[in-house]
Structure 1
């Protein structure tokens, strides 16, 4: 087995703001309704940008959502009217003038006080990918679970893989609330596993507070071969150790830079101002309405 680790420094996320923002987002969506042509409309009457109900009842188990397809060149208002008349079912079946949506999200559960579950299926570059998400207590998120499975139709077992991950947010907040001099958490609050016919891997994230108020997150990756291929895998990992270690370091540093950049752009709003900001982001992400 080979193990690699790298530690990055990232800006700390305020727990109170995060939970308030999550609650505001859930409340906005919970108060939304289905509009004309399957659009998703907030309580103030504005439609969520790029989102359409394709099948089922809004916010009910089995509801299928997808992006609003771009209007065909030259279709104009007539095309838009025909699309609305055909309804969401035309997008699923491919009937009428509407193109078939290439990917969609199916809602499995919507219980804002308990959990939200959704899954999606995407076919890209010959690979079929199925992803699942479960969020516990979404108004004040306590845990997030992810699943991923992929295969290439007709490609055999070498073209199949699966993975699962979980982030215990309660344990994460407890880990970053320690004193900087305290030892790190005994169990990583965020971890994931990936399995392939030839190998399996485990990734963990362990945070701890720094003296300057930021977080230091240790990213650890362990890889090992499976079954009779373990000796072969050990040889491969021996020669690939350098590239794997460099790849982990570069990926961790890139993710940390993106995180820091995103947090630097956030405006620490609260209350109705935060709710309005989230509603604007849902309905007008480019800010074109303000121009």
Structure 2
């Protein structure tokens, strides 16, 4: 949004792909940077089945860049899938162990592909214990280089990854009680504002 007149910027658009509270709700946000030297287009699609009784959610985001030869190394794709029907029983410790992780995704870059799975379990203190597994494979000329890099820097990479997850968990634990106390209408308004913010 343009702060001066409140109208959408020329390079930003949000489209409603589906709007059925009982079946599927889907939004697509596209941002376009037409800089001739370093142009970029990001596309983000969020799908939810269903808004009335959420069961599954998908998020995909793609960044395409243009310009010089290095621009191709700045883009990539992220895809996430959340199975809420599997998440809540796993988090509560009820039901069977799921065959697949309730939250999973991939990050694809021209040089690497990462696959992430997330499984919650109840912890003795009443919180969730979340297990996150990541697997990274090299692509293109990075395929033979990635195992060597991981052998040299693997411990440090794992520590940085673990610290980032701990920070995310602390932030989640700090924000969740506030969100749970909010009324549904206030929470929906806050979510809509976050989705439509520049």
Sort the TM-score into its range (normalised by shorter chain).
Answer: 0.7 to 0.9
1:248 CA drift (Å)? 1.1
Calculate the TM-score normalised by the size of structure 1. Answer: 0.56
Q: 1:274-289 counterparts in 2 under 5 A?
A: 274-275=183-184, 277-278=186-187
1:280 CA drift (Å)? 7.0
For the structure 1 residues 162 and 235, does the alpha-carbon distance in structure 2 shift closer, same or farther, using more than 3 Å as the test? same
1:153 CA drift (Å)? 1.2
Who is 1:39 aligned against? none
For the structure 1 residues 258 and 104, does the alpha-carbon distance in structure 2 shift closer, same or farther, using more than 3 Å as the test? farther
1:283 CA drift (Å)? 9.9
Please, which of 158, 162, 176 is the counterpart of residue 77 of structure 2? 162
Who is 1:9 aligned against? none
1:192 CA drift (Å)? 0.6
State the SS of the aligned residue for 1:197. Answer: coil
Distance in 2 of aligned mates of 1:219 and 1:197:
24
Who is 2:52 aligned against? 139
Contact map agreement 1:184 1:207 (CA 8 A) in 2: no
Distance in 1 of aligned mates of 2:57 and 2:152:
35
Who is 1:74 aligned against? none
Who is 2:66 aligned against? 153
Calculate the TM-score normalised by the size of structure 2. Answer: 0.80
Contact map agreement 1:184 1:208 (CA 8 A) in 2: no
Please, which of 154, 158, 161 is the counterpart of residue 245 of structure 1? 158
Who is 1:113 aligned against? 22
State the SS of the aligned residue for 2:151. Answer: helix
**Rg: which structure is higher?**
1
Who is 1:217 aligned against? 130
Count of aligned positions: 188
Does 1 or 2 have the higher relative contact order (CA < 8 Å, sep 6+)?
A: 1
Distance in 2 of aligned mates of 1:158 and 1:267:
40
Contact map agreement 2:112 2:136 (CA 8 A) in 1: yes
1:216 CA drift (Å)? 0.4
Superposed CA RMSD in Å reads 3.0
State the SS of the aligned residue for 1:206. Answer: strand
Q: 1:91-102 counterparts in 2 under 5 A?
A: 91=7, 100-102=9-11
Contact map agreement 2:91 2:120 (CA 8 A) in 1: yes
Unpaired stretches in structure 1, ≥5 consecutive residues? 1-66, 72-79, 84-90, 93-99, 286-291
For the structure 1 residues 277 and 108, does the alpha-carbon distance in structure 2 shift closer, same or farther, using more than 3 Å as the test? closer
For the structure 1 residues 236 and 155, does the alpha-carbon distance in structure 2 shift closer, same or farther, using more than 3 Å as the test? farther
For the structure 1 residues 241 and 126, does the alpha-carbon distance in structure 2 shift closer, same or farther, using more than 3 Å as the test? farther
Distance in 2 of aligned mates of 1:155 and 1:165:
30
- 1:70 and 2:3 are equivalent in the alignment: yes
Per-residue CA distance 1:81-109 (angstroms, 9 max, x = gap): xx8xxxxxxx46xxxxxxx3542321111
For the structure 1 residues 224 and 264, does the alpha-carbon distance in structure 2 shift closer, same or farther, using more than 3 Å as the test? same
Unpaired stretches in structure 2, ≥5 consecutive residues? none
